[in-house]
């Protein structure tokens, strides 16, 4: 059990004892914004989650969630508890890490957020390495169409422990560990006016109809910075679909060199771009405000090692069809 101090409305005085497990469940609800989804994530039934939150509210003498509508939202008291609960759970995990380290072991669950495209980083190999050397570490992968901006938001709100992102720093409350950088390429049909060029410039591309990823994606930020932002771009969040649209003559596009390969390149030309701004970088993001657990450090080390052969910057030979 843990005694909580300083909750809003009860500053500088004790408001009683609560179960650490209830704080864990409370934070799961904060992240999921749903009792049912939070229960699923921590592997308990919904009724048990509801009882745990009700017990916590009774112990603290405060309503923690507004239950109006289909989703739950934190009350002012709930927001205050969220900060305190994170500190408590961080201290609990630190204690577990120290005990495990004394025993020569690392245990724990790490929530890894990832963009849909990770370049030449082989996550399957990374996970296999962790399973072999640290069987007590469990990785939970969360992929999202929200792009790099969504990954950074997950680090800030503590729903993710570590995230693979194409965002570039500095970022408030986030530390970026660069993994590698690769060039972006121009994708067009063989009959396109630029298809035979050895390289194209940004000036060559200004009149092109270029498919762009949705806002929030790292590649969208890069393209907008080089070519100028636009509200009228066709937005596609799937590289395979982008390739098919280019094959059909619908438009052209710019993508990381590793994003379109193999059968996806059938009937297409890739042309290098002569502009250093049009490079795509992948980094591992962690919180600047929360202590990294030993399990999170294991995953970060594995991601760094898994990227070691590629960087920090891939050479021109990384571009498909270019030697």
Residue-wise pLDDT tens digits, 251-289: 999 999 999 888 888 889 999 999 999 999 999 999 998
pLDDT band at 133 (very low <50, low <70, confident <90, very high): very high
Q: What CATH architecture does domain 104-178+281-311 belong to?
A: 3-Layer(aba) Sandwich (3.40)
According to the model, what pLDDT value does residue 106 have?
86
Tokens of 253: 């596009």
User: Which pLDDT belongs to residue 297?
Assistant: 93
Contact, 84 vs 4, CB < 8 A? yes
Closest CA to 2 of 21, 20, 14, 15: 20
CA distances from 97 to 37, 77, 172, 209, 266 (A): 28, 30, 27, 53, 50
Q: How confident is the model at residue 97 (pLDDT cuts 50, 70, 90)?
A: confident
Which residues lie closer than 8 Å to 29 by C-beta, 6 or more apart? 35, 38, 49, 53, 65, 72
The third-level CATH classification (topology) of the domain covering 2-100 is: Arc Repressor Mutant, subunit A (1.10.10)
Confidence of residue 7 (pLDDT cuts 50, 70, 90): low
Res. 310 pLDDT band, cuts 50 70 90: low
Tell me the pLDDT of the chain averaged across its residues. 86
What's the rounded mean pLDDT across residues 202-230? 92
The count of residues in the chain is 323
Between 96-110, 190-204, 219-233, 284-298, the lowest mean confidence (pLDDT) is in 96-110
pLDDT for 4: 55
- Does residue 135 surpass a pLDDT of 50? yes
The 10 Å Cβ neighbour count of residue 195 is 17
Give the containing element (helix H, strand E) for 190: none
Query: Can 104-178+281-311 and 180-280 be said to share one CATH topology?
Result: yes
- In this structure, is the dihedral angle defined by the CA atoms of residues 229, 235, 239 and 243, taken in order, positive or negative? negative
The pTM (predicted TM-score) of the whole model is: 0.74
108: left (phi over 0), alpha (psi -120 to 50) or beta: left
Give me the mean pLDDT over the 99-120 stretch: 86
What confidence score (pLDDT) does residue 2 get? Answer: 53
Q: What is the mean pLDDT of residues 238-247?
A: 93
> Which carries the bigger pLDDT value, residue 298 or residue 262?
298
CA dist 289 and 114 (Å) reads 20
Q: What residue ranges do the domains of the chain occupy?
A: 2-100, 104-178+281-311, 180-280
In the chain, the percentage of residues whose pLDDT exceeds 70 is 90
Proportion of the chain in helix, strand, coil states, percent, rounded to 5: 40, 20, 40
Distance of alpha carbon 318 from alpha carbon 323, whole angstroms: 8
| DSSP label of 106 | -
**The domain 180-280 belongs to what CATH superfamily?**
Periplasmic binding protein-like II (3.40.190.10)
């Amino acid at each position: 059990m843990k005694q909580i101090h300083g909750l809003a409305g009860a500053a500088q005085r004790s408001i009683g004892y609560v179960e650490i497990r209830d704080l864990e469940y409370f934070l799961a609800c904060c992240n999921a914004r749903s009792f049912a989804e939070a229960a699923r994530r921590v592997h308990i039934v919904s009724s048990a989650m509801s009882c745990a939150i009700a017990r916590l509210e009774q112990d603290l003498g405060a309503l923690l969630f507004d239950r109006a509508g289909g989703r739950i939202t934190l009350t002012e008291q709930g927001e205050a508890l969220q900060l305190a609960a994170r500190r408590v759970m961080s201290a609990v995990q630190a204690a577990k890490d120290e005990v495990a380290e004394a025993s020569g072991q690392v245990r724990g669950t790490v929530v890894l957020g990832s963009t849909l495209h990770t370049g030449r980083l082989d996550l399957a190999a990374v996970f296999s390495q962790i399973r072999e050397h640290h069987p007590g570490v469990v990785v939970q992968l969360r992929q999202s169409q929200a792009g790099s901006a969504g990954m950074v938001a997950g680090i800030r709100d503590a729903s993710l422990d570590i995230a693979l992102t194409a965002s570039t720093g500095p970022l408030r409350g986030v530390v970026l560990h660069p993994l590698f950088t690769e060039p972006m390429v121009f994708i067009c049909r063989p009959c396109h006016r630029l298809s035979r060029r050895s390289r194209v410039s940004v000036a060559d591309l200004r009149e092109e109809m270029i498919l762009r990823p949705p806002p929030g994606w790292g590649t969208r930020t890069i393209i907008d910075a080089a070519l100028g932002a636009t509200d009228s771009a066709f937005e596609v969040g799937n590289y395979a679909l982008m390739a098919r649209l280019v094959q059909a003559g619908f438009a052209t596009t710019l993508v990381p060199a590793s994003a379109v390969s193999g059968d996806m390149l059938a009937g297409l030309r890739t042309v290098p771009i002569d502009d250093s701004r049009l490079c795509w970088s992948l980094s591992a993001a962690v919180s600047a405000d929360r202590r990294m657990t030993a399990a999170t450090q294991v995953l970060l080390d594995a991601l760094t090692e898994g990227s070691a052969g590629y960087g920090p910057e891939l050479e021109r030979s990384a571009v498909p069809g270019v030697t």
